[in-house]
Amino acid sequence: GHQLRSFRLGPLLGRGGMGEIYDAMKIGSGEPAAVKLLARHALAEPTKIARFLRELDIARTLRAPNVAAVLEVGDLSAELPYLAMERLKGHDLDRHLRQHGRLTPEETAALVQQVADGLTVAHAAGIVHRDLKPSNIFRCEPDGAAGGAPVWKILDFGVSKLGGESQLTMDAVVGTPAYMSPEQAKGEGVDVRTDVYGLGTIAYAALTGVAPFGGGSAAVVMTRVIRELPRPPSELS
């Protein structure tokens, strides 16, 4: 029931390490939305606040069919920093793979093409996502009346890198170990090739049902990312 400028919050939809996402409705039009707020515990951590504000800055400018659309942004001038996004109908790739095992080659090709289209727009704006993984790729259900294929959209630019900026992470390793690139695992600088690698790991997971590198602690997984090649998909029946 809480109101943030144009939107009234509904039930909590999900919670991550840094933020909370609420079902919401635009006051007046009744347009459905999803509003992302910085989690309460993160409000006391300057680095997490800075990351969230950076995501808001990116959201103001990034517009692409395969990136979740932004409806409104509230920065530090608002009662609470927030990001109002289109309310997507469907679920993320991580959940889809847990329920269905894997995608067909045709479905995977469509996913890769659509995510690549979204990344092309981001990269043209000087933005590197840095944390592509199945939980950040959303499968939007096709319109029941119109039919058609699902649409894939990129979520969460919270740890993305803007061209020319210094890292807010103080050069710490950023990303998800099982899906990060070797240069990320080494703590080296990243560029658009990091996202290309990340998309490749997503395609691998979609086709095989497993991450290219998994199991063990984060340190063990990152060591494997740096030193090894993943098993050929043909070996994973």
Q: How far apart are CA 32 and CA 9, in angstroms?
A: 10
Q: How far apart are CA 20 and CA 173, in angstroms?
A: 23
Identify the CA nearest to 9 among candidates 19, 18, 26, 17: 26
Identify the CA nearest to 188 among candidates 163, 176, 175, 171: 171
Are the beta carbons of 74 and 60 closer than 8 angstroms? no
Identify the CA nearest to 42 among candidates 58, 53, 33, 32: 53
Give the count of beta carbons closer than 10 Å to the beta carbon of residue 104.
Answer: 11
Strands 32-38 and 19-26: antiparallel
Active-site residue among 131, 143, 156, 191?
131
Identify the CA nearest to 55 among candidates 182, 212, 168: 168
The question of whether 117 is a catalytic residue gets the answer no
Catalytic machinery residues = 131
